[in-house]
Structure formats: C-alpha cells, structure tokens
C-alpha cells in the first residue's frame, strides 16, 4: 500500500459480528453469500498452523466475496482475477476490508478489521502482485506441480488418487513474504476507531 496510511481500523473485535453489521447495512441482495464467508473464516481460525491469516473482504450491494490476501498478490489466481473483475466492472459501490484473524475466543473469531479504499487498493494490487510460478495440485496420496499456463482439472489422478485442492505458488516466495509483511505494517498505521 502507500507509505501514507489512509484507512481506519478496529482492533481485537469479533470479526464476524462486525462483518455481519456491514452486510446488514450495505448488502441488499444475496446476503446469504456471507454464510460462505463465515464458514471459511471459522475454518481458517481453527487451523492452528495459520495464525494471523488475512482475508480481503468485498461487501457489495449484491453479495460478498472473501479473498485470501496471499492469493490476491499472486497474478493469475482466482482471487486476483475476482478483484480485478470488480475493479473493471465498477457496477455497484464496493466496500473493501482487510480482516486479520488472530484468535478464537469461545465461539467468537477475534481479529482486526481495516477499511480499504476499493479503487486505490485494486490499483495497488495490480501494481504490486507477483507472478505465479507454479500450481501445486494436492491429492489424497501425493501431489503434482503444474505451470500456471497448464490446464488442470479436479479429476482423480491415476497415481495419487482423489483430488483434494490446489494452491498457486509465487515465482518468488521471499518476494511475496516481504510484500505481505509490508501490507501488514502499513495497516498497523491506520487510525484506530470504534465503528467502521
């Protein structure tokens, strides 16, 4: 992001409660999109290996999108393409937020919410994103690596069995790690508020 922090932040809040209130105020149609976001956030929060995971959340008048920050900054990923599609389309007002998931406190997912200027953020992502280097296809009994330009499907693999998931890898893991660290540091400078 820019070296001058411009957004606002809520610190150590119930992430899902804040997001639900934003959906209730802004999303007129397809509010049930948020149910999928809740599932993904809860699943990520419960994974011990993924402390401080960050999502970028788009709240539109016609639904929501929850995107992994890591994937936004790798060109050719689905999340990167979704963000660029909505930036290009400009059909409705989009509210954008970074949601850092820090802990689970009982049934509450705790973390920080940062307001983002959607247009500026899209431009920043487009300029800063790193190229994809490969795609790791994970199967129940192993994995394969493909180039980003190669076609792949979710079909079972003759050698490794059932397809489970895939993940884009950047050309430079270190470059992506530095970029994400800088994003987090920039957000820390946002003005703390009590309501977004």
The pair of structure tokens assigned to 169 is 């890898």
Considering the domain architecture, whether residues 15 and 62 belong to the same structural domain is answered as: yes
Q: Which helix (H) or strand (E) holds 78?
A: helix 78-89
Residue 121 lies in a domain: yes
Residue 93 lies in a domain: yes
pLDDT tier, 46 (very low <50, low <70, confident <90, very high otherwise):
confident
**Arithmetic mean of pLDDT over the chain:** 93
Least confident of 36-50, 95-109, 140-154: 36-50
Q: How much is the average pLDDT of 66-86?
A: 97
pLDDT tier, 132 (very low <50, low <70, confident <90, very high otherwise):
very high
Residue 1 lies in a domain: no
Considering the domain architecture, whether residues 13 and 42 belong to the same structural domain is answered as: yes
Greater model confidence, 47 or 28: 28
41 neighbors 16 (Cβ within 8 angstroms):
yes
Considering the domain architecture, whether residues 48 and 104 belong to the same structural domain is answered as: yes
- What is residue 103's predicted lDDT score, i.e. its pLDDT? 87
Q: How many other CB atoms sit within 10 Å of the CB of residue 125?
A: 22
Q: How many other CB atoms sit within 10 Å of the CB of residue 146?
A: 13
Q: How much is the average pLDDT of 82-102?
A: 92
Q: How much is the average pLDDT of 119-134?
A: 97
Residue 2 lies in a domain: no
Which residue range forms the structural domain that includes residue 166? 132-170
- What is residue 9's predicted lDDT score, i.e. its pLDDT? 98
Residue 84 lies in a domain: yes
Q: How much is the average pLDDT of 62-81?
A: 97
Query: Tell me, what DSSP letter sits at residue 93?
Result: -
**Which residues have CB under 8 Å from 191's CB, separation 6+?**
5, 7, 8, 9
- What is residue 90's predicted lDDT score, i.e. its pLDDT? 76
């Amino acid at each position: 992001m820019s070296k001058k922090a411009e957004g606002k932040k809520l610190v150590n809040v119930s992430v899902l409660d804040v997001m639900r209130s934003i959906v209730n105020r802004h999303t007129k149609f397809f509010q049930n999109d948020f149910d999928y976001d809740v599932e993904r956030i809860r699943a990520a929060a419960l994974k011990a290996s993924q402390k401080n995971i960050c999502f970028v959340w788009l709240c539109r008048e016609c639904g929501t999108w929850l995107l992994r920050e890591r994937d936004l900054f790798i060109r050719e990923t689905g999340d990167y393409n979704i963000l660029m599609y909505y930036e290009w389309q400009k059909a409705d007002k989009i509210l954008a937020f970074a949601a850092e998931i820090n802990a689970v406190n009982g049934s509450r997912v705790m973390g920080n919410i940062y307001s983002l200027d959607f247009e500026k953020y899209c431009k920043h992502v487009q300029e800063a994103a790193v190229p994809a280097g490969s795609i790791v296809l994970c199967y129940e009994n192993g994995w394969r690596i493909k180039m980003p330009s190669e076609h792949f499907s979710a079909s079972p693999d003759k050698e490794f069995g059932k397809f489970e998931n895939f993940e884009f890898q950047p050309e430079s893991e270190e470059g992506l790690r530095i970029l994400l660290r800088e994003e987090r540091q920039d957000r820390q400078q946002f003005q703390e508020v009590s309501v977004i």
